[in-house]
């Protein structure tokens, strides 16, 4: 990549990359290779999402190009950048699931931020929402470090995994219904592969909450009736396809809109994540409060 005049140094490794980052060129944490198959539309995506392992799923997700508007947006943001990050390369690709490959806790968000995950290549990494989330995950024992600045910073999730319902940064944080549905098989595949060990799902916001319920139904898991209602601290026991119980916790999204206004405070976030972390060592179904 050193011959590319648009290449900029990665803030951790110093290696030069163009924006967006081509697959398999050495970006820390890039799960794809240069020959990873690309989903160019929903038909390809349906086939490629049948990956037999989480690592192959991550690789295929990270090169997906099935939504023309979102591909154009994520790459435009990557090229144009924000002034504060003008000297950095931007990932500019979909953000795959990240964390433990046999998680007990699964954290589900909406979509990557244009100058957060879309820049750093890692979910909730490099933006204010992530600052709140990782600080709290660290306080409750689910993350190794209190900050998550960039891939390659040494951060690790401990018994936990994070995914976004929609894997590309959307304009105004609002994917269209078509984009939501086009991306759904990636989340479905992630749940199919991860659910055997998952005991708790934390849904950050109602969008993620609804995506989890839709996915569980599509996987022939069980969802209680009446349908669970999202709220901060809401709890519902779902049935995984193999029959084990999964506790679904609702949590306000740590967006600046919520944290600046005090709708979500650190103690509120800690309380939900501590409830999730409290399930880590328990070997049966969820412990009811």
Per CB under 6 A, residues contacting ligand SF4 are 45, 61, 64-67, 70-71, 94, 166-168, 179, 182-183, 186
Going by C-alpha positions, the residue among 202, 180, 235, 190 that lies closest to residue 54 is: 190
Q: How many CB atoms lie within 10 A of CB 172?
A: 7
Contact present, 159 and 189 (Cβ < 8 Å): no
Element (H or E) spanning 191, and its range?
helix 177-194
Going by C-alpha positions, the residue among 98, 93, 107 that lies closest to residue 38 is: 93
Residue 225, SS3 per DSSP: coil
Residue 61 or 255: the one with the smaller Cβ distance to ligand SF4 is 61
At closest approach, how far in Å is the CB of 97 from ligand SF4?
11
Residue 70 or 268: the one with the smaller Cβ distance to ligand SF4 is 70
At closest approach, how far in Å is the CB of 37 from ligand SF4?
13
Residue 60 or 275: the one with the smaller Cβ distance to ligand SF4 is 60
Residue 44 or 235: the one with the smaller Cβ distance to ligand SF4 is 44
At closest approach, how far in Å is the CB of 70 from ligand SF4?
5
At closest approach, how far in Å is the CB of 185 from ligand SF4?
8
Contacts of 134 (CB under 8 A, 6+ apart): 124, 125, 143, 145, 146, 147, 148, 155
At closest approach, how far in Å is the CB of 91 from ligand SF4?
12
Q: How deeply is 78 buried, as exposed, middle or buried, from its count of CB atoms within 10 A (0-12, 13-18, 19+)? A: buried
At closest approach, how far in Å is the CB of 95 from ligand SF4?
8
- For the CA atoms of 95, 99, 101, 106, the dihedral, rounded to the nearest 10 degrees, stands at -90
Residue 31 or 159: the one with the smaller Cβ distance to ligand SF4 is 31
Alpha carbon of 4 to those of 16, 110, 271: distances in Å?
A: 9, 34, 48
Residue 57 or 65: the one with the smaller Cβ distance to ligand SF4 is 65
């Amino acid at each position: 990549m050193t011959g590319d005049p648009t290449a900029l140094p990665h803030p951790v490794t110093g290696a030069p990359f163009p924006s967006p980052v081509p697959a398999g060129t050495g970006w820390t944490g890039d799960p794809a290779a240069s020959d990873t198959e690309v989903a160019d539309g929903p038909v390809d995506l349906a086939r490629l999402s049948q990956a037999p392992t989480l690592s192959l799923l991550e690789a295929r997700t990270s090169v997906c190009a099935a939504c023309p508007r979102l591909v154009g947006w994520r790459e435009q943001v990557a090229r144009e950048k924000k002034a504060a990050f003008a000297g950095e390369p931007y990932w500019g690709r979909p953000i795959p699931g990240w964390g433990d490959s046999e998680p007990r806790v699964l954290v589900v968000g909406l979509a990557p931020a244009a100058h957060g995950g879309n820049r750093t290549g890692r979910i909730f990494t490099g933006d204010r929402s992530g600052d709140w989330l990782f600080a709290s995950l660290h306080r409750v024992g689910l993350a190794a470090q209190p900050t998550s600045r960039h891939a390659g910073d040494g951060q690790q999730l401990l018994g936990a995994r994070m995914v976004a319902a929609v894997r590309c940064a959307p304009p105004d944080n609002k994917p269209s219904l078509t984009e939501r549905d086009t991306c759904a098989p990636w989340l479905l595949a992630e749940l199919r592969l991860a659910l055997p060990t998952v005991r708790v799902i934390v849904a950050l916001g109602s969008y993620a909450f609804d995506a989890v319920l839709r996915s569980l139904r599509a996987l022939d898991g069980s969802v209680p009736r009446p349908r669970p209602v999202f709220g901060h601290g809401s709890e519902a026991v779902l049935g995984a396809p193999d029959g084990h119980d999964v506790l679904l916790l609702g949590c306000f999204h740590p967006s600046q809109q919520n944290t600046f206004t005090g709708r979500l405070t650190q103690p509120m976030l800690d309380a939900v994540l501590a409830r999730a972390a409290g399930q880590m060592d328990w070997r049966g179904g969820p412990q009811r409060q």
